[in-house]
Amino acid sequence: MGIYDILPEGSQVKCWDCELVHLETGYFVGKLNRRSEYIVLLREGGYIYVKCEIIEEIVEEKNFELPSKYRDLPMFDKWGNKTHYLTIHLHNQSS
């Protein structure tokens, strides 16, 4: 399992410092793959929107719909691997 950071509703992410920090909006997380604006899609359902290396929005919801304004941004899974919205969304729909 390893060390991870925790979101408000308990989802775990491993793409940043992994210091068992409880992440919230306004928290500085840094770049992923040299990008300062991106989406992290959560396997449990939901997403994190990061702009200028700061968490702007956290949605932890199994049957979420990613707003269309975010769909052109680079997307990563909770481990920091590049992914696509449909990959995570379809997984959540089948669970």
CB neighbours of residue 58 within 10 Å: 21
Report the DSSP beta bridge partners of residue 36: none
User: Looking up tokens 């990959």, which residue turns up?
Assistant: 87
Q: How many CB atoms lie within 10 A of CB 14?
A: 15
Average pLDDT over residues 54-60: 95
Q: What is the pTM of this model?
A: 0.85
Average pLDDT over residues 43-67: 91
pLDDT at 1 over 70: no
Per-residue model confidence (pLDDT) at position 48:
95
